[in-house]
Structure 1
Amino acid sequence: MLLTGADVEKAVAELAGVIRRTPMIASRVLSERTGADVWLKCENLQRTGSFKPRGAYLRISRLSDSERARGVVAASAGNHAQGVAWSATELGIASRVYMPEGASLPKIAATKAYGAEVILAGETVDDALVEAQRHADRTGAVLIHPFDHPDVVAGQSTVGAEIVEQLPGVSTVVVPLGGGGLLAGVAAAMRASRPDVEVIGVQAVQAAAWPASLAANHPVPAVSMNTVADGIAVARPGDVPFEHVSEYVDRVVTVSEEELSTALLLMLERAKMVIEPAGAAGVAATVGGLLDLSGTVCVVLSGGNIDPLLLRHVITHGLTAAGRFLTFTATVSDRPGGLLALLELLRDQGASVLDVVHSRVADDLYLGEVQVTVSVETRGPDHQLSVRRALGDAGFLREDSR
């Protein structure tokens, strides 16, 4: 089941003229922070906004005439849905996509716009996949799995082939990891032409099935699936990707929700790249101190499809993690001028007030006191520490909240 160099070359030839050759962009900020020469492979600029059409198109294009006549069906929270919808429409094939009931409205709308019939089913992608399989069994439609098929992995391997051509001196490739199709494909391409290149997969720690799976030497379901990175929130690694990852990938690391949010914010501010949390996983590992990097490094930005509402939430989360937002609860005098004294202190400290909420009913308040919860903009962790110290010295913070 392992892809060969010939399989990768064939996939490249079949997708030529169909799939965009995405840019490879030097990242000054990541290079400065790591000491390596870091480049970004921008799959967020691929058709439909992610790498997914590579595998979906190749898989669907290889169907027989009788299979095409029965149509295709898929299950996805967003990126695979759009990849299948676009690919099927390009090939003149009917498609149906099952999506979780909580899927983002922009991703549902985009999938419909690419030509698929969308059915909302269940709370998770796994629930939707059950319904997609039932539809396939009932109608004969071909199920297009998001990652667990050799043709899908072969399609994703073209990302690796492009990396080798665009960055001949590459020494390390860092890839977001969910079900494993992208990492498996990139690793297969590297082992076929550049076996000296280190290949690293990155998962969200809140949806990390791969470390336990690799330790057990077989796919093991994740214990938790609570991550903002829905694009890599997969309950169980695929069998086909697992064989490739266990054979070809050097290591797998995990990143926290705070690291994902901070990485997304960093790409937005410094690289001017809009990416989704899953697409930022490689960046999070690169700047999070998990990897001792040197030489020429390629970080794959796997997708850029993010709901604007989620983007607002993630930006706020990222700013907080980066020390740019501070929320604290202070105790002030209930007499005129009590709140003013607190606000003047924040002004003098250079902290910009965003929000103030009063409460006179907190359990630990004394008569004549008011509790206020204040949110301010700060300039980083050091500035936050300075603000907290000043608040404590002025008596606004209880001893246990300094």
Structure 2
Amino acid sequence: MTSFAEIIDRTTADELRARGSWKWAKGGPGVIGAFVAEMDFGVARPVEEALLGVIERRELGYLSQRASDAMAAACARWQRERYGWEVDPERVRPLPDVITGLAAAISVFSRPGSPVILPTPAYMPFLTWPATLGREIIQVPMAADGGRYVLDLDGIAAAFKRGGHLLVLCNPSNPVGRVYGAEELAAVAGVVEANGGRVFADEIHAPLLYPGGRHIPYASLSEATARHTVTGTAASKGWNLPGLKCAQLVLSNDADAVLWAERGFTFEHGTSTPGAWAAAAAYRDGGDWLADVVGYLDGSRLLLAELLAARLPEIGYRPPAGTYLAWLDCRGLFAARGIEENPADFFLERGRVLLTDGAACGDAGQGHVRLNFATPRPILAEMVRRLADAVNGR
């Protein structure tokens, strides 16, 4: 029987380009797309069947209560069985995407006009979206601890003192791949409570954890975190469904549920019906496919370390504990080779690999790039070869 890895490894770059996705089309002919966070692995069979059912039923209208309820029940069950978090399905609300969840957290649950507190490096839209709502962002660069990123609790406390009210907490972290433990999360909660703050917990990458990792929903820690948190999540990363426009906002206290009932409709509008059924199928029946994906990605994150060590040892890379995103520190490499260009621009122009510019992830990301390794391993190897050849002038 052909294994999942064998099927994926047979997928070629030409096949991926032929699909016409933005990931593979944006860079132009011959460019390897490794920037946007989606996988090159297709989707789980239960998700395919759910989408075929939507077509057969001609259920392509606005989101129905039935579809929304199925999605909410499946998400609540996933939270309970995977993470031990008891969630009322009625408090799992539909959203088009997690960015809409951030907009809701800012508009509905944060103090009017208050700055948004953002640990950086951070997911790129988190640095741009608050400004569209008239909000300042207070960047709090993460601290380095033995080569890994940790949250700067003193910096977060200072940001609250400057008037910040909503803290954006991304766990697992995009782009650095940290998975925060109970002690770290409890320390964050202490700072938030001491300053009367709120938290938007972005947990969209939670299904993508590697051996030894454990996801702890921040709102599940205590009555205090349940009281001051709204959580954004989705099946879109774990099951590769970003184009289906469906996410979930989890409300974890009575007051927020009441406020959402009054003001939440505009944020829920636009959630896709096919997306809701696909998410329900993923949460309910997609566990085996997800296990295959995580197993493959586990090998790929370690392979990337081997490839970089062999070809570009000056690049700093720590395999992530979660996500399929590699955070590469190019500062030492570029300084040693006398390269003054922006790393993302350099690798696109010279290596024909499209990466995410680390500077787009905040001031702390200068000199870095984000690389998506959720691609067939032969393509990953070709990607690193191109990066090395670009640096070596070939």
Larger Rg: 1
> Whose relative contact order is higher, 1 or 2, with alpha carbons under 8 Å and at least 6 apart?
2
TM-score normalized by the length of structure 2? 0.33
TM-score normalized by the length of structure 1? 0.32
